[in-house]
């Protein structure tokens, strides 16, 4: 792709709809998207649903929505309307974008390969092949297809075909070494001994991944294939097909994979693992959720490899009260991350813009617009990276704190509407706006915004007074705190404007008139209305509760103190 090339850059992300969008997939998609944007090209989305058993429509929808939520927009591909925006379409007329609807193209390519001698039918059954494979393993030699079907006489082959014998089609792998010119890894040469004649059409008539991906990429004009390193060894197969079919070879770049902090794979199974542990720690013997029978629950708990449906898992985690590790984009959404934060962190995992901030530190925080101008495989590291949720959390906290009050309120409300409706029931929009400045710097995600004002979600009689806090703020010394609190209760009861600023000013004024420091009254008040010595600023704390509630809580606190003496 020299500067003289006038071929527009076209990248693609091609998920198979067998579950939610994995965070690693999101990272790949982000790279493809940004690289296309940066080059003024197009980003296309294709659904690889050639596995009839595992593909589902709901997965497709979920994956599309996750991408849309992240702001990774595709020009070509399945159409979706999300959050008032439209995604996808077939402007170039190279669709459809579901592989299950493209069988004609694959079969045409396969026929062409057979005619040109690059492919041949093979009649072995899966069982026969499995037996041969096992034999090879027992003999401690690498298994390779023995080309038995290629040895068949043309008469016998024709006869079996005419008879309608079930068969697959295999690609005749050339016996020359193939060098992948990888933009991240450099040239990687694989010897022909490493490959056998792989299957390109399954018994059920569907193409395998290798065939479909090659045909589609060529027909859809894909110029750059950017994907995870697990595909590196597949690439020579794809290159061989391209050569046999006379296709242009796209530019390849394989990015390193991401892992858990302990070095294990970031797998959906991690969620089951965490949930199982929590259930065992709780000593649960029967299913805590209605969507799961006791028998299934017991089986799941016992069997290490058994996985639960995502929605069941979420419900179970909520009931048991554990936080599941975030693995899929949907998990991060539910956990209250902003899409921009996730993109920022994801881009930084394995890549560095090599730019400085004004203060001389490295540039690490950037927007989607920045990525659309700068992100690409250039400068991508080669080593595997560990996903550090703590750093993500730090980014999240910063991004949330940087939101304007209005924006925070809007985002928080959107999030709560989807994942914690109790918040929306409890606070109207105006209240959330008032709360915004106090909460913004105290939560790391939208989800834990609630924890900051947890006291507002309990009844006036429904919380405990923390012993140490009560003692320190109200009882210790000459009971000054308690006296001050009682006095202030009277003053407060006549305060008309119960907005945070007004309350704060009122407390200040009261303290000045008594010639005591702010803290002398603030802490007793705080303990009285929240039960604890820690809360957001006083004005907001009292304001969000409302005057009646505050007075009731002070009264209850005074009684409580009396009973302590």
Partner RNA sequence: GGCCCCAUCGUCUAGUCAGGUCCAGGACACCAGGUUUUCAUCCUGGUAACGCGGGUUCGAAUCCCGCUGGGGUCACCA
Q: Is 44 in the site for RNA (CB under 7 A)?
A: no
| Residue 32: Cβ within 10 Å count | 27
Supply angle C-alpha 164, 167, 169, rounded to 5: 125
Supply angle C-alpha 217, 222, 228, rounded to 5: 80
Mask for 305-344, x = binds RNA (CB under 7 A): ----------------------------------------
Query: Which structure tokens are listed for 435?
Result: 């709360």
CB of 235 to RNA, least distance (A): 10
- Could you tell me if 334 and 417 are in contact, meaning their C-beta atoms sit under 8 angstroms apart? no
Instruction: Scan residues 111-150 and list those touching RNA (CB under 7 A).
Output: 124-126, 129, 133, 140, 142-143
Query: Which residue do the tokens 């119960």 mark?
Result: 498
- Could you tell me if 177 and 195 are in contact, meaning their C-beta atoms sit under 8 angstroms apart? no
Which residue, 229 or 410, has its beta carbon nearer to RNA?
229
**φ and ψ at 222, to 5 degrees?**
-65, 125
CB of 121 to RNA, least distance (A): 11
How many CA atoms lie less than 13 Å away from 562 in the CB half-sphere?
Answer: 7
User: What single-letter DSSP state applies at residue 455?
Assistant: G
Query: Strand 85-89 and strand 178-182: pairing?
Result: unpaired
Near RNA by CB under 7 A: residue from 14, 308, 335, 432: 14
Instruction: Scan residues 363-422 and list those touching RNA (CB under 7 A).
Output: 364, 379, 381-386, 388, 390-391, 394, 397-398, 401
Which residue, 139 or 562, has its beta carbon nearer to RNA?
139
| Size of residue set near RNA by CB under 7 A | 83
Which residue, 74 or 198, has its beta carbon nearer to RNA?
198
Mask for 431-450, x = binds RNA (CB under 7 A): ----------xx--------
Mask for 468-507, x = binds RNA (CB under 7 A): ------------------------------------x---
Which stretch in 70-78, 196-204, 274-282, 319-327 sits in contact with RNA by CB under 7 A? 196-204
Instruction: Scan residues 448-467 and list those touching RNA (CB under 7 A).
Output: none
Query: Strand 258-259 and strand 385-386: pairing?
Result: parallel
- Could you tell me if 218 and 248 are in contact, meaning their C-beta atoms sit under 8 angstroms apart? yes
265 has which bridge partners?
259
Query: Strand 251-255 and strand 224-228: pairing?
Result: parallel
Which residue, 182 or 420, has its beta carbon nearer to RNA?
182
Mask for 219-248, x = binds RNA (CB under 7 A): ----------xxxxxx--------------
Query: Which structure tokens are listed for 103?
Result: 């069988």
Which residue, 120 or 297, has its beta carbon nearer to RNA?
120
- Could you tell me if 15 and 64 are in contact, meaning their C-beta atoms sit under 8 angstroms apart? no
Catalytic positions are 268
Query: Which structure tokens are listed for 525?
Result: 């008040």
Burial degree of 279 (CB within 10 A; 0-12, 13-18, 19+) = buried
Alpha-carbon distances of 295 from 272, 321, 423, rounded to whole Å: 17, 22, 35
Near RNA by CB under 7 A: residue from 8, 261, 454, 546: 261
Q: What is the SS3 string spanning 542-562?
A: HHHHCHHHHHHHHHHHHHHHH
CA R_g for the chain: 31
Question: What's the CA gap between 322 and 278, in Å, rounded?
Answer: 7
Which residue, 326 or 504, has its beta carbon nearer to RNA?
504
User: What's the distance, CA 54 to chain centroid?
Assistant: 20
Instruction: Scan residues 500-529 and list those touching RNA (CB under 7 A).
Output: 504, 517-519, 522-523, 526
Which residue, 132 or 486, has its beta carbon nearer to RNA?
132
Near RNA by CB under 7 A: residue from 61, 86, 265, 514: 265
CB of 524 to RNA, least distance (A): 10
Instruction: Scan residues 200-219 and list those touching RNA (CB under 7 A).
Output: 202-204, 206, 208-210
**φ and ψ at 169, to 5 degrees?**
-115, 130
Which residue, 22 or 333, has its beta carbon nearer to RNA?
22
Question: What's the CA gap between 466 and 478, in Å, rounded?
Answer: 20
Closest CA to 466 of 398, 335, 544, 561: 561
Q: Is 199 in the site for RNA (CB under 7 A)?
A: yes
Query: Which residue do the tokens 């805590």 mark?
Result: 288
Which residue, 8 or 517, has its beta carbon nearer to RNA?
517
Query: Which residue do the tokens 């070879």 mark?
Result: 249
Instruction: Scan residues 92-111 and list those touching RNA (CB under 7 A).
Output: none
Question: What's the CA gap between 338 and 343, in Å, rounded?
Answer: 9
User: What's the distance, CA 300 to chain centroid?
Assistant: 24
Which stretch in 26-34, 199-207, 305-313, 489-497 sits in contact with RNA by CB under 7 A? 199-207
CB of 458 to RNA, least distance (A): 17
Near RNA by CB under 7 A: residue from 310, 344, 396, 535: 535
CB of 145 to RNA, least distance (A): 7
Q: Is 62 in the site for RNA (CB under 7 A)?
A: no
Which residue, 287 or 344, has its beta carbon nearer to RNA?
344
Cis peptide bond N-terminal to 96, omega within 30: yes
CB of 263 to RNA, least distance (A): 5
């Amino acid at each position: 792709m020299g500067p003289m090339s006038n071929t527009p850059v076209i990248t693609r992300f091609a998920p198979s709809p067998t579950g939610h969008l994995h965070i690693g997939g999101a990272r790949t998609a982000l790279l493809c998207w940004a690289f296309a944007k940066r080059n003024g090209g197009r980003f296309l989305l294709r659904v690889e649903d050639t596995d009839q058993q595992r593909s589902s429509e709901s997965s497709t929808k979920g994956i599309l929505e996750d991408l849309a939520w992240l702001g990774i927009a595709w020009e070509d591909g399945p159409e979706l309307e999300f959050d008032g925006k439209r995604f996808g379409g077939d402007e170039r007329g190279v669709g459809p974008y579901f592989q299950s609807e493209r069988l004609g193209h694959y079969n045409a390519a396969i026929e062409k390969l057979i005619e040109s001698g690059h492919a041949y039918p093979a009649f072995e059954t899966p069982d026969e092949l499995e037996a041969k494979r096992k034999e090879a393993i027992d003999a401690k030699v690498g298994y390779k297809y023995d080309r038995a079907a290629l040895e068949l006489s043309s008469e016998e082959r024709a006869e079996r075909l005419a008879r309608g014998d079930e068969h697959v089609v295999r690609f005749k792998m050339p016996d020359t070494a193939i060098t992948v010119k990888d933009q991240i890894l450099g040239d990687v040469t694989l010897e022909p001994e490493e490959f056998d004649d792989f299957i390109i059409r399954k018994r059920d008539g569907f193409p395998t991944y290798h065939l479909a991906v090659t045909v589609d990429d060529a027909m859809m004009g894909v110029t750059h294939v950017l994907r995870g390193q697990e595909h590196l060894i597949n690439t020579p197969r794809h290159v061989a097909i391209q050569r046999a079919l006379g296709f242009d070879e796209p530019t390849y770049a394989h990015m390193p994979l991401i892992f858990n902090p302990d070095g294990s794979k970031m797998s959906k199974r991690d969620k089951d693992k965490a949930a199982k542990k929590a259930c065992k720690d709780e000593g649960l013997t029967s299913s805590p959720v209605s969507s799961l029978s006791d028998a299934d629950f017991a089986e799941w708990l016992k069997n290490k490899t058994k996985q639960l449906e995502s929605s069941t898992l979420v419900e179970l985690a909520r009931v048991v009260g554990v936080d599941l590790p975030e693995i899929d984009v949907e998990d991060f959404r539910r956990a209250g991350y902003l899409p921009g934060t996730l993109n920022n962190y994801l881009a930084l995992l394995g890549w560095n813009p090599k730019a400085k901030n004004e203060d001389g530190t490295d540039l690490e925080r950037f927007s989607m617009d920045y990525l659309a101008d700068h992100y690409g495989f250039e400068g991508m590291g080669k080593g595997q990276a560990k996903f550090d949720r703590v750093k993500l959390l730090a980014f999240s906290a910063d991004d949330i704190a940087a939101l304007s009050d209005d924006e925070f309120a809007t985002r928080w409300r959107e999030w709560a509407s989807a994942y914690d409706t109790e918040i929306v029931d409890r606070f109207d929009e105006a209240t959330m706006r008032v709360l915004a400045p106090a909460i913004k710097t105290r939560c790391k995600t939208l989800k834990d915004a609630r924890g900051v004002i947890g006291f507002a979600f309990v009844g006036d009689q429904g919380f405990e007074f923390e012993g140490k806090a009560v003692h320190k703020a109200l009882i210790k010394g000459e009971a000054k705190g308690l006296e001050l609190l009682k006095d202030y209760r009277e003053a407060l009861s006549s305060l008309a404007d119960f907005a945070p600023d007004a309350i704060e000013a009122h407390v200040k004024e009261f303290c000045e008139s008594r010639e005591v420091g702010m803290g002398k009254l603030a802490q007793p008040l705080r303990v009285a209305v929240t039960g604890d010595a820690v809360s957001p600023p006083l004005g907001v704390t009292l304001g969000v509760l409302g005057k009646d509630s505050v007075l009731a809580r002070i009264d209850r606190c005074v009684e409580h103190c009396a009973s302590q003496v």
